[in-house]
Amino acid sequence: MMDVIFYNASQVVTVASGGRARSGAEMRDIGVIEDGAVAIKDGKFTYVGPSDGIDISDADRSINAFGKTLLPGLVDSHTHLVFAGAREEEFARRIAGATYAEIAASGGGINTTVKATRAASKIELIEYALHRLDSCLGFGATTVEIKSGYGLDFENEIKMLEVINELKDLHVVEIIPTFLGAHTIPFDYKERREEYLRLVLDEMLPEVASRGLAEYCDVFVEKGAFSLDEGREIFTKARDLGLKVRVHADQITPGGGSELAADMQAASADHLDNISDEGIARMKASGTVATLLPGVSLFLGEEYPDARRLIDAGLPVSVATDVNPGSCMSENMQLMMSLAALQMRMTMEEVITASTINAAAAVDRAATHGSIEEGKQADLLMFDTPNFQRILYHYGVNHLNTVVKHGNVVMEKRYANA
């Protein structure tokens, strides 16, 4: 007896990949089954195939997916969704013409959120984050990476990571914690850069590692944030302590961040608006996923990263939101997918791969997440659309109908009867 069977789906988009990221042209092969069915038992997929290949009475619950499309649960592999305060005022300044960099240089930006986050209690941070996770899930993300990076002193970076870890028990979205103590030099260490670096290296990292508070270490490698040498030192120490690596790389300037990511065997290098040819070649060799964040380009009114160049060069490309109060205030993965197609000239098939299996690979979970394959963890979405293309094409609205996380139906759209 199965736990749940979805049947008669107009399309089942399996993204079956054998448990690994897809690169280059392979990204366009997403394994669509027409009139498909999916069965789930004990948290795993047990059948994926045509509807007439399975007996729908052999389940505790069978869901008629007629006219609907099934997709693997989306993975949002890059967020900063634990924070306090908001930055509408800076938003207004940007609309009036100020740039993100100018606002940061004038003492705003990340440091504005650092002040608010330091002042907030754990309970407050949890409360804000739970709302944002509801929003992530409501648009289809069943697994979400979350970074620290708004504490930027020992006490508050640890506080943020404790919050991120506590969310695991409080929300159905699966959470992957990342330590981003090297997000920027905080305002109160402005004249004490070396001291802040020592704090990250000698105090924060050992505490994070010994308490198992993060799976990854991230560094914002950028002019005005952390240099290549500083990034290398932090990542080397993090890896020695058993943390894995992901990088904010080549966002505003081509600083060699993607080359560093490759050297450090990073799971993912993110942003990449200014990646060099050398960076592309090195990332290809190291198997590092290229995570693009089109919501940032939209929000900051900047040029979009060149996805075509990366895919055509054979890199596995992924798409994420970067939810944060400064450069992308949105949890909407469906919007990011439309932007990826419309603004980064990715094919719709590539966008599906980028937000499922490749996003899972960006958090080292391609073997268990990101595709609908027998034996894999049952994270499944049902959309109110007759095909996957409609999700991207009919943009700016939420097409999600039902969410299954780890085999459990955790969200269902319902309308009142008249």
Chain positions contacting ligand NIG, by CB under 6 A: 80, 109-110, 113, 220, 248, 251, 296, 322, 324-327
**Residue 339, both tokens:** 């932007």
Sign, CA torsion 404/405/407/412 = negative
The least distance separating Fe ion from the CB of residue 102, rounded to whole angstroms, comes to 19
What angle is formed at CA 302 by the lines to CA 301 and CA 306, rounded to 5 degrees? 140
Q: Which is nearer to ligand NIG, 50 or 254 (CB)?
A: 254
Contacts with 47 (C-beta within 8 Å, 6 or more apart), sequence order: 2, 5, 37, 38, 39, 53, 54, 374
What contacts 24+ positions apart, CB below 8 Å, involve 336-340? Answer: 336/293, 336/294, 336/295, 337/391, 337/392, 338/392, 338/393, 338/395, 338/396, 339/294, 339/295, 339/297, 339/298, 339/304, 340/292, 340/294, 340/307
- Residue 358 interacting partner from Fe ion, ligand NIG, none (CB closer than 5 to 8 Å by kind): none
Question: Which residue number has the CB closest to ligand NIG?
Answer: 326
Closer to Fe ion by CB, 79 or 338: give it. Answer: 79
Nearer to ligand NIG, 69 or 324 (CB): 324
Instruction: Tell me which residue has tokens 């054998």.
Output: 18
CA 219 – CA 75 distance, rounded (Å):
21
- Give the integer Cα–Cα distance in Å for 115 and 186: 9
Which of Fe ion, ligand NIG, none has residue 256 at its interface (CB below 5 to 8 Å by kind)? none
In the list ligand NIG, Fe ion, none, the entry touching 284 (Cβ below 5 to 8 angstroms by class) is none
The interface region with Fe ion, picked from 113-121, 321-329, 344-352, 358-366 by CB under 5 A, is 321-329
Considering beta carbons, is residue 251 or 353 the nearer one to ligand NIG? Answer: 251
359 binds, among Fe ion, ligand NIG, none (CB under 5 to 8 A by kind): none
What contacts 393, CB < 8 A, 6 or more positions away? Answer: 338, 348
Does residue 322 touch Fe ion according to CB under 5 A?
A: yes
Residue 251's binding partner among Fe ion, ligand NIG, none (Cβ under 5 to 8 angstroms by kind) is ligand NIG
Closer residue to Fe ion (CB): 10 or 112: 112
**Closest CB to ligand NIG among 143 and 327?**
327
Q: Which is nearer to ligand NIG, 268 or 324 (CB)?
A: 324
Q: How far apart are CB 301 and ligand NIG at their closest, in Å?
A: 14
Q: How far is the CB of 268 from Fe ion (least distance, A)?
A: 11
Q: How far is the CB of 59 from Fe ion (least distance, A)?
A: 41
Asked if residue 218 binds Fe ion (CB under 5 A), the reply is no
291 binds, among ligand NIG, Fe ion, none (CB under 5 to 8 A by kind): none
* CA pair distance 162, 175, nearest whole angstrom: 12
Q: 36 — alpha (psi -120 to 50), left (phi > 0) or beta?
A: beta
For residues 341 and 140, what is the distance between their CA atoms, to the nearest angstrom?
Answer: 18
Contact 30, 14 (CB under 8 A): yes
Residue 273 or 349: the one with the smaller Cβ distance to ligand NIG is 273
CA–CA gap between residue 409 and residue 108 (Å, rounded) = 42
How many chain residues bind Fe ion (CB under 5 A)? 1
Kindly state the smallest distance separating residue 269's Cβ from ligand NIG, in Å: 12
Tell the smallest beta-carbon distance from residue 271 to Fe ion (Å): 7
Among ligand NIG, Fe ion, none, what does residue 143 contact (CB within 5–8 Å per kind)?
none
Longest CA pairwise span in the chain (Å): 69
The DSSP H or E segment spanning 142 is: strand 141-147
Task: Give residues in contact with Fe ion (CB under 5 A).
Answer: 322
